[in-house]
Structure 1
């Protein structure tokens, strides 16, 4: 560092659409003391060669909101600056040729209804009318959109840059950042034109993000995959007619649109994913405006189908092939938000940069400036990956994501690559009993129990496994069930200041007595949900916490980051070394009594308490709690003892009717009890928005987010409902309607197998009447009845049972 070291509030590394859009949105929020560093020219990484489509017909509210926000941002910038963005608002068709795809189209219509995106569900006749050159013989349905289209990558980026410069922010081209280090509370960046001290850093480096992340101690799960699109010679039939809509069709894994008076065909191969610059190295610094040789052997079969779909292009020559690197992530979602390193933010891993850039920039700017975004950010929070995300996993799973990009996303569909990635000791036992697994945070968990080797059928309606889940749930309610929850976040927090730490982070009080436990919500400074954990007070200065396994890494880091200098607090993450079996049902006490000398009576071991006991000679943390609303215990123990514990439970429990319980039945029983889960506890709301007032204790306390929480009048509320439909359930993200107009959305749902009702949670605007509501599922409206209390055991007598 020299005497001429410059300082800035925010340094942005990368001058593609993601970096420039982020800088623009920061300026919109008043942060103009920013410098964007680009080693070459703006857009010279991947942005310049993008095809530029932006779609309204997408599968989730989050994706739809991002794309809508991007279009609105770009059009506003064009109007304000007078600089063209190259926007072609031609609309589009998303084609369905199978029954599952038709259901997906119907599901997409719900996204359009939620976000007020103009679209229609149409048949082959309307497709042919909209694009007379497209073959519709096998078309069953399509979603037609009207206000989306495609954009010129360089034009829109330059327009954003012009608006940003006008605000006083700085853009430095041909100034490469070459390294970074921590200096006090700032980051010292080494650049080709001198040192810069920055309070915040945004990594928007695209294919270079891997090596940039290493400067900050980060592993950024982003892989550069090669994508083709081809531009044909001029199409005579395109002359003297309006531009065609964008066509998206899974049958060839891509899209077709008009490029001036030529055709443009983009393909995502479904059988292979060519990658370059694999992590951890990333793209070479010398790479600039890089393109790669076309591989017709790879795309040939898909290209032939595309040409059959649009025969007017079949006899033409190909005048240009673009095969460039585009970043993808293992789950397909971009990386936007805090990285985990202090004041280092990500805006990268974007496979649809033009569609996502404007919306991602807004989310990032809102998060940085205001501490929150207006929409749930969990889906692209960079901290969502845990320790399972090794370099090998990141590359191979990202290849899988690329190849499945044009698969139909039926409910329950998951990636298959590298599975089972992590198998705990029970895996083989459960597989031998017919467990059909789902993956969660790199671990396998039974969804239901069927035949050995059974493949789960998928679809929007009830599937064949419905009867299996029904049997598991009923047996648990009548006798007992045990579910493998070895994939579970478990922390032990000790030290004389451990209680003070947890108390100032939690909206609820800590357990007052040794051995007791409470449900606690940890909030952001803005009073929104950071996470939900159970806290068991083992002893005076010793606590044990439990939460979903997907939150293991971010929760541990977040709690640890709030330990003050000089505090006596130690944290141990047991999540990968310990497992948990949840035993529930009216026979659970009888079963457990045969395996322990501990007094399990209600007086000695009350509900919402825990003890260190031995079960079948194995030392366990036994917590008397049940997420299915039954008498039950969670049994936490080191993984090396889980098999012996499981075998002992079944040896004692078989004669009492003990069964294996899968996650589908578990979720249905959760819904019968009206318990909230992650779908309800999102980053854009807090406890008072979702009816969890009883878990907020303010008197005599000052917890993180308290002032913001108590000063905000909730504008939303949560309804528990029964869906009146046969053979279909709420999945989450569907529109809630009143007199045909959207008033909210569903957050989660499932079938209540032991009450014979389809149940769900509705997030609606405050003041919405409870009568007359419906939910739109697969483009049909189904009425709902709102219930004030849980359908099953509203008095909550069964968990407290002393029988």
Structure 2
């Protein structure tokens, strides 16, 4: 027991609350060698021991031993940490909701409209219900009830602020305060099935867009990226990264460039380029009317890109997908985003084109088995455990960051492995559900969603051998599995391949 002198620790202390109610830890992105361990939101006694141990490991080895991404100061974009209004509003809301139940699809009301892409007003008028990620307003889903603008923060009526009355956006959020399927479950279904059956447009402009350029850009790329980039000609690289981790990626890459003394630089163009993704079996027919180039499989194969004209505007078209369909991403200069978007929607009208948001992307990508950062993938996971060995150039002799650790793990065998589960019963799951194998708990779910195409609940989690041995594919396939949600156990089927289009025919344009 520790006795605290009340003269030193008075009963009413001034407490710090951070913008997301989590501590600030790790190396400051503005100053190498300066580490933070603060902002514990009145939970320092509870968190101090473990956080102190991880921070010590972080300082000595350059990274923590455990996954500390949720506490890492790099989770915030510098434009937000430099914004006093954002800090004041979000810190207040994190305090106001200190003891609130955390629902799966909640969004903040504070610190909104800080970063808006060129399509924001256009999509708002079409009923877009926005999500906040990294300060960006990104499309969540589209309501048939029309525009739901996000109003200035009212501090929940505190400090003599007048609370908003009949706040439509807040009302839509409140309807989501459930651990069941949300009331607009059928709207997400429509967006998903329209993408699978026809064509959908996703505004992904919140993504980070960087250029890695300079005399040693290739040398840096070889070291930074696990994949073999030698097949890509040129002296520079265009990188697109999930917008919610743009600052984290930026800090990691620039740190490596500095430590390895590579003669190159990373240029941030995130605010200057929009990103319009057109996906679905009718995407080629739609875009063939908009893009001035041949979109056939032979002329424009999967995972290639071209600089082309779209409705008279120069864009970079990349044949990629994160939903498991034939489709293209259009990387568009900011000033050209609206006219290019309108041209796509006009051409797609006769093909049943619709707008879709990230709630649909979450479901579609889960069906296809695409990995999400900090759900399926964390800093303490490896590509081998996550089923991403194909992204690593281990068959080459090229050294890259982390290669030795992967080779050692491959030689010794995997002690855990990410696997996919489906549940026939239509039950909502959100993550952290227990995984049972042969009546023993072998892990927990990292990510879950409902797959509207296969009409099943989908979940992903890492499993371990309770006996401590390797987790081989035979071990994965030989067990009887169940998932436990709120004390109820549901029979589950395990999959070692994607439960939807495992042969990637649709991605290749084969329907």
> TM above 0.5, one fold?
yes
Instruction: Name the counterpart of 1:708.
Output: 405
Question: Are the counterparts in 2 of residues 578 and 639 from structure 1 also a CA contact under 8 Å?
Answer: yes
Q: Is the 8 A contact 2:25 2:38 kept in 1?
A: yes
Please state if 1:577 is matched with 2:272. Answer: yes
Decide whether aligned partners of structure 1 residues 567 and 728 sit closer, same or farther in structure 2, where only a CA change above 3 A counts.
Answer: closer
Larger Rg: 1
1:428 is aligned to 121
Quick one: distance in 1 between partners of 2:346 and 2:244?
Answer: 32
Following superposition, the deviation at residue 568 of structure 1 comes to: 3.9
In the superposition, relative to structure 1, how do residues 783 and 396 fare at CA in structure 2: closer, same or farther (>3 Å)? Answer: same
Q: Is the 8 A contact 1:378 1:384 kept in 2?
A: yes
Q: Which residue of 2 aligns with 1:331?
A: 20
CA contact (8 A) 2:366 2:451 kept: yes
Name the CA shift for 1:153/1:617 in 2 (closer, same or farther; >3 Å): farther
Cα distance change on mapping 1:374 and 1:504 into 2, 3 Å: closer
- Residue among 374, 377, 388 paired with 2:80: 388
Deviation at 1:802, TM superposition (A): 6.6
Give the 3 Å change call, closer, same or farther, for CA 599–469 of structure 1 in structure 2: same
Report the equivalent of 1:359.
50
For residues 5 and 268 of structure 2, what CA distance do their matches in structure 1 show?
47
* Structure 1 residues 557 and 418: CA distance shift in structure 2, 3 A: closer
CA distance in 2, matches of 1:666, 1:549: 14
What root-mean-square deviation, in Å, do the aligned CA atoms of Structure 1 and Structure 2 show? 2.1
Deviation of the 1:618 alpha carbon: 1.4
**Which of 363, 366, 389 is the aligned partner of 1:668?**
363
Confirm or deny that 1:476 pairs with 2:195: yes
In 1, the alpha carbon distance for the partners of 2:15 and 2:199 equals: 50
Structure 1 residue 689 and structure 2 residue 385: aligned? Answer: yes
* Structure-2 separation of matches of 1:801 and 1:383: 39
| Residue among 458, 465, 490 paired with 1:759 | 458
Question: Helix, strand or coil for the counterpart of 2:140?
Answer: strand
Residue 502 of structure 1 pairs with residue 199 of structure 2: no
2:344 equivalent to 1:644: no
* 1:592 Cα deviation from its structure 2 partner: 0.8
Question: Which of 35, 40, 50 is matched with 1:345 structurally?
Answer: 35
How big is each residue's C-alpha offset from its partner over 1:519-570, in whole Å with a ceiling of 9 and x where there is no partner?
Answer: xxxxxxxxxxxxxxxxxxxxx1021111101221221232122236874423
Distance across 2 between alignment mates of 1:418 and 1:595: 37
Aligned counterpart, 1:51: none
| Residues 566 and 385 of structure 1: CA distance in aligned 2, closer, same or farther (over 3 Å) | closer
SS of the residue corresponding to residue 499 of structure 1 reads helix
- Show the counterpart of 1:379: 70
Relative to structure 1, the CA distance from residue 428 to residue 401 in structure 2 (aligned partners, 3 Å threshold; closer, same or farther) is same
Counterpart in the other structure of 2:156: none
Give the CA deviation at 1:591.
0.8
Aligned residues of 1:153 and 1:354 also touching (Cα < 8 A): no
Report the secondary structure of 1:388's partner residue.
Answer: helix
Q: Does 1:550 align with 2:241?
A: no
**In 2, are the aligned partners of 1:372 and 1:684 still within 8 Å (CA)?**
no
Return closer, same or farther for 1:568/1:342 CA change in 2, 3 Å cut-off: closer
C-alpha distance after superposition, 1:679-730 (max 9, x if no partner): 111011111111111111122111112112221343211111102432312x
SS at match of 2:54: helix
Confirm or deny that 1:632 pairs with 2:327: yes
**Distance (Å, rounded) in 2 between the aligned partners of 1:760 and 1:566:** 42
Q: 2:462 aligns to what SS in structure 1?
A: strand
Give 3-state SS (helix, strand or coil) of 1:325's partner: coil
The structural deviation recorded for 1:468 is 0.3
CA contact (8 A) 1:448 1:465 kept: no
Q: How far apart in 2 are the matches of 1:682 and 1:602? A: 35
Q: Deviations over 1:121-146 (max 9, x none)?
A: xxxxxxxxxxxxxxxxxxxxxxxxxx
| SS class of match (1:464) | coil
**Paired residues for 1:731-746 under 5 Å:** 731-746=430-445
Give 1:563's aligned residue.
257
CA distance in 2: counterparts of 1:366 and 1:153, whole angstroms: 29
Question: Structure 1's 715 and 367: CA in aligned 2 closer, same or farther, altered over 3 A?
Answer: farther
SS at match of 1:576: coil
Task: Give 5+ residue unaligned stretches, structure 2.
Answer: 149-167, 465-469
Counterpart secondary structure, 1:733: coil
Is contact 1:506-1:704 (8 Å) kept? yes
Q: Secondary structure at the match of 2:212?
A: strand
Q: What does the per-residue CA deviation read over 1:552-598, in whole Å, with 9 as the maximum and x for residues that have no partner?
A: 12212321222368744232111122111111011111111111221
Cα deviation 1:176-217 (Å, max 9, x = unaligned): xxxxxxxxxxxxxxxxxxxxxxxxxxxxxxxxxxxxxxxxxx
CA distance in 2, matches of 1:605, 1:439: 34
CA distance in 2, matches of 1:154, 1:626: 61
Helix, strand or coil at the partner of 1:688: coil
Q: Which residue of 1 aligns with 2:304?
A: 609
Q: What aligned pairs does 1:117-128 form with structure 2 within 5 A after superposition?
A: none
Query: Normalization by structure 2: what TM-score?
Result: 0.87
Deviations 1:633-674 (A, max 9, x none): 111112222111111110111111111111111111101111
Distance 1:154 1:465, change over 3 A: farther
* CA–CA separation in structure 2 for the residues paired with 1:797 and 1:689: 25
**TM-fit CA distance, 1:421:** 2.5
Change (3 A) 1:671 1:427: same
Task: Decide whether the 8 Å contact of 1:383 with 1:554 is kept in 2.
Answer: yes
| CA distance 1:354–1:154, shift in 2 (3 Å) | farther
1:51-66 aligned at under 5 Å gives the runs none
Which residue pairs with 1:14 in the alignment? Answer: none
Are 1:750 and 2:439 matched, yes or no? no
Q: Which has the higher strand share?
A: 1
Q: Residue 366 of structure 1: CA displacement?
A: 2.6
Aligned residues: 466
Q: Could you tell me how far 1:407 is from its partner in structure 2? A: 1.3
Aligned with 1:640: secondary structure? helix
1:614 CA displacement = 1.2
Is the aligned partner of 1:800 residue 2:499?
no
Cα 1:734–1:511 shift into 2, 3 Å: farther
Please say if residues 602 and 802 of structure 1, whose CA atoms lie closer than 8 Å, have aligned partners that are also in contact.
Answer: no
In 1, are the aligned partners of 2:484 and 2:490 still within 8 Å (CA)? Answer: yes
Equivalent of 1:786 in 478, 491, 494? 494
**2:130 matched to which residue of 1?**
437
